[in-house]
Chain A
Amino acid sequence: MKQFFFFVFLILFSTSSVLAGEDVRRSLEQNFFQANRLYFEGQYLESLNAYKAVLEEPQFKSFCRIGGDLFYNMGNCHYRLGNLGYAILYYERAKIFMPRDADLKFNLEYLQDKIKDEIAYKAGIIDSVFFWVKALTLNELIIIFSIINFLFFFIVSLRFFYKTESIYYFFIFLLTSWLVSSVSLGIKSFRIYCDQRVVIVNREVEALAGPDKKDTLLFKLHEGAIVSFERSESDFSLIRLPDGRRGWLASSSVKFIVPDNS
């Protein structure tokens, strides 16, 4: 009898949680479609706020749970509002989730032409050797690694019992694939979770020799420029250009491509 009540309780509980989840999903979709409608009506600021409201849902509390499309749409809103820096910031965020998306690629290239600063970004040796890492998302790499991981350990287990030549070759092939995919996954994870790139979001910012307004002006940067963050002191952040030049900028003028809560 006790068991019967336990099962009834379990069914009711799971059903209610599924229904609650369905409600949240519907509400999310409504907000998303509302934001899209506002965009097409030309109300870009309202549309942007609606997308932000979607982002504030608890489901999106982690950066990695947000799809690239949301960021892409927000980038479009910012572009329409004339915020070039923010548009690039959101497109760069979207690129993490959909690196091969043709629309995003076009929009980013289009905006790159509008940036005032000409900054040459060089590809490192690792990027050249593991060229596919850039073209794949973290999720895709996880899936690839999971499959190879399963097959690799399956073949290892098989080798405990059958030591044939064909199994040996499979083992060598899978071992190589396992190593390559695990390193690729490691690189991708590092690139995302240790991404120190920031985007300049103010129209023009002055890079100073020190974290003080009175310090010497070294050079000027304009919105949309992507630089590397080194450290921050009081209200200033030390940034580095790809050519090695460094300077202190007001922290409010830069935004991390991958936010802290990722």
Chain B
Amino acid sequence: MKRSIFLTLVLYLFFFSNGYGAISLKLTLDKPVAALTDTIIMKVRIDGAAKGALPNIQGLDSFDVSNGGTSTVFKMINGQSSYGIDYTYYLYPLKKGKFRIGPAVVNIDGKTYKSNKVTLVLTDDKEKGAHLERGPLFMEAFISKQDLYVNQQALYTLKLYRRVRIADLSLDMPEVGGLIIEQMAEPKRYSVTLDSKKYEVIEIKYILMPARAGSLSIPPAKMNMVVQQQQNWPNSFFQDPFFGFNAGKPVSLQSNSIQLDVKALPEVSKPDNFSGLVGAFDMNCELEPREISVNDSATYTIKVAGSGNIRQIPDLKIKAVDGLKMYQDKPVLDIKKEDERITGIKTMKWAIVPERSGKFQIPELSLWFFDPEQKIFKELKAGPTSIISTARSQKEKSELKVLPEGNNQTAIIARPKKNKKEVVQVGKDIFPIHTSESSIKGVWIFRYANMALIIILICPPVLCLGLFIAKRLTYKNNNSKLMTKSKNALKIFIKKNNHKNMNPEEIHNAALEYLNNKFLLEGGYLTRDEAVCLLVKRGVSENTSKKFETCLKEIEAVIFSGTKNKNLHKIQIEFAAIVKSIEKEIR
């Protein structure tokens, strides 16, 4: 916490103080003596200035220079603060010798300031081991062979030695005209000990193949990376690479250059039909089967295998033989990248079909290549190979006729296996006009299309809407009928109840029918308890409900006992009064 407050204060003081102190320039190199393959770090410090123009440095004609960035420096010693800017440069030497670098000149507020001069001695790579010490990060290039023939393979190896943590590694391979460069397998990582120090090595291998004779120089390969610097914050989570707070310094390294002496192939002994192959090759041929029936097919295979410029293995051609048909397959080239060389096999196949019986000879095929180890041209030969064709027996012929078309065996015998080839587009043109009378038939269909379309699209929703309206109307009608029935319940009851000579069942039924009509009930009549419950539920007073129950009880007693009751008329009148009360009290 204290540290962060201190840093904030310092930064505040630094950035908001606009004045300059006493300005001075200092030019330094990370080493006074270096090899041609080394990268020299040069720094120009401007003390007393918080900002300023880029310094102009003299004496850098013999170097490739790349900018390594700018950093600000703040120091506080015994209460006195000082600040400045560091400009970092990477120097890649172009030639050996003794060089004076500097002074660095910078213009600040109209005043010109100059730095000191430094001396740098650059030696040959070979001398380096004697008196130079390897740093924690360096790069070397090796070649397996410097004297080569045109098209001969050589192994070019780049090794990056490191004792520091690096990130964002990228490689710039040099491009050389007349040199084919092909990367081998993935880069290897391993450890070695040099000068009693353990180094992590990243090794990348390439195969080089010169395409022309002469002296070829492979310029240094460059590797760019970020070197992760150790922070003075012990056990801080900022040191965890996950958070990406580790300070990184961009570094660019270069390897040594390599000189190649490429010789042309000897013209004196060069055969006329030389294929251009350089390396070690072998060729073999195979015919399977060697004896076949007429119109059957045999497969003739030639394989050319070896290491060298295998992509240049030519497609071999067999001379035509009278009585033999030959169909060539597309040659197949199988390339393998081994640890230190490129090898491969080219397989060429022919389907050989004898047209008549007899003994035929497939002519010899030859292939010339140059062996750079023995420095001579060598010839590879395949064949000649004999093939015997026998006439098909009568039995086989008859079987051919009898067996159905779908039989696989027959298909194989009957039709000699032919080489399938891609359909080749020979010409291109538009397709012809359409002549069918149906082309203009659409007109007649369209004559009534609009009308039909309207009918088809409009009818379903209209019909659906009609059904919906009809259904709604029916529903309303039914409801109104029921409402009328409910309203007329009293009238119906009074009409029925007005008869003087009504028997008890009729009075009982008239009362319950009134309830059914009034409350739109369906099915049979209610029981006494159900009727009372319903009346109470519909807001009829308890007194009226009780009276209705009493009357029902009395009339039911008469019905079930079978006795004559002289008070029937009185009950009738009571019912009429109760029903009128119900009409008033009902909600």
Contacts and interface: CB of A to CB of B under 8 A. Distances in A.
Contact of A110 (B428, B434, B436): B428
B463 A157 contact: yes
A5 interface: no
Interface stretch (A66-74, A193-201, A211-219): A66-74
A150 interface: yes
A256 interface: no
Interface in B430-466: 430-444, 446-447, 453, 456-457, 460-461, 463-464
Contact of B440 (A54, A62, A103, A149): A54
B60 interface: no
Interface of A: 21, 25, 28-29, 32-33, 36, 39, 54, 59-60, 62, 64-67, 69-70, 72-73, 76-77, 79, 103, 106-107, 110-111, 142, 145-146, 149-150, 152-154, 156-157, 160-161
A73 B446 contact: no
Contacts of B439: 32, 67, 69-70, 73
B422 to A, nearest CB: 19
A145 B467 CA distance: 22
21 contacts: A25-B444, A28-B443, A32-B440, A33-B435, A36-B435, A60-B443, A65-B442, A65-B446, A67-B442, A67-B443, A69-B439, A69-B440, A70-B439, A106-B430, A106-B431, A142-B453, A146-B453, A150-B456, A150-B460, A156-B464, A161-B471
Given A62-B446, A150-B456, 7 more contacts: A32-B439, A76-B432, A79-B430, A106-B430, A110-B430, A149-B456, A153-B460
B467 A64 contact: no
A160 B430 contact: no
Given A25-B444, A60-B443, A73 B434 contact: yes
B331 to A, nearest CB: 31
Interface of B is mostly: helix
Of listed A25, A69, A70, A156, residue having the most chain B CB within 10 A: A69
B468 interface: yes
Given A76-B430, A76-B432, A110-B428, A65 B460 contact: no
A179 to B, nearest CB: 14
Nearest to A39: B433
A146 B439 CA distance: 24
Contacts of B438: 69
B453 to A, nearest CB: 6
Contacts of B429: 110
A32 B437 contact: yes
A157 B467 contact: yes
Nearest to B461: A153
Contacts of A110: 428-430
A35 B14 CA distance: 91
B299 to A, nearest CB: 39
Given A65-B446, A67-B441, A160-B468, A152 B460 contact: yes
B460 A59 contact: no
Size bracket, chain B contacts: 20 to 34
A160 B465 CA distance: 11
Contacts of A54: 440
A150 to B, nearest CB: 5
B441 A149 contact: no
A25 B457 CA distance: 29
B437 to A, nearest CB: 6
A72 B440 contact: no
Nearest to B466: A157
A206 B182 CA distance: 49
Nearest to B430: A107
A65 B461 contact: no
Nearest to A97: B442
Given A29-B440, A65-B443, A160-B468, A154 B460 contact: yes
Nearest to A73: B433
B449 to A, nearest CB: 8
A72 B434 contact: yes
Contacts of B431: 103, 106-107
A60 B446 CA distance: 10
Contacts of A64: 446
Nearest to B437: A29
Nearest to A74: B433
Contacts of A36: 433, 435
A69 B430 contact: no
B430 A149 contact: no
Contacts of A149: 456-457, 460-461
Nearest to B443: A59
A110 B427 CA distance: 12
Nearest to A91: B430
A161 B78 CA distance: 100
Contacts of A77: 433
Contacts of A59: 443, 446-447
A29 B433 CA distance: 15
A247 B453 CA distance: 41
Contacts of B447: 59
B460 A103 contact: no
**Residue among B431, B437, B453 with max Cβ neighbours from chain A (10 Å):** B431
A19 to B, nearest CB: 14
Contacts of A106: 430-431
Interface in B474-505: none
A70 B432 contact: no
Contacts of A66: 442-443
Given A39-B433, A103-B434, A142-B453, A153 B442 contact: no
A108 to B, nearest CB: 9
Contacts of A103: 431-432, 434
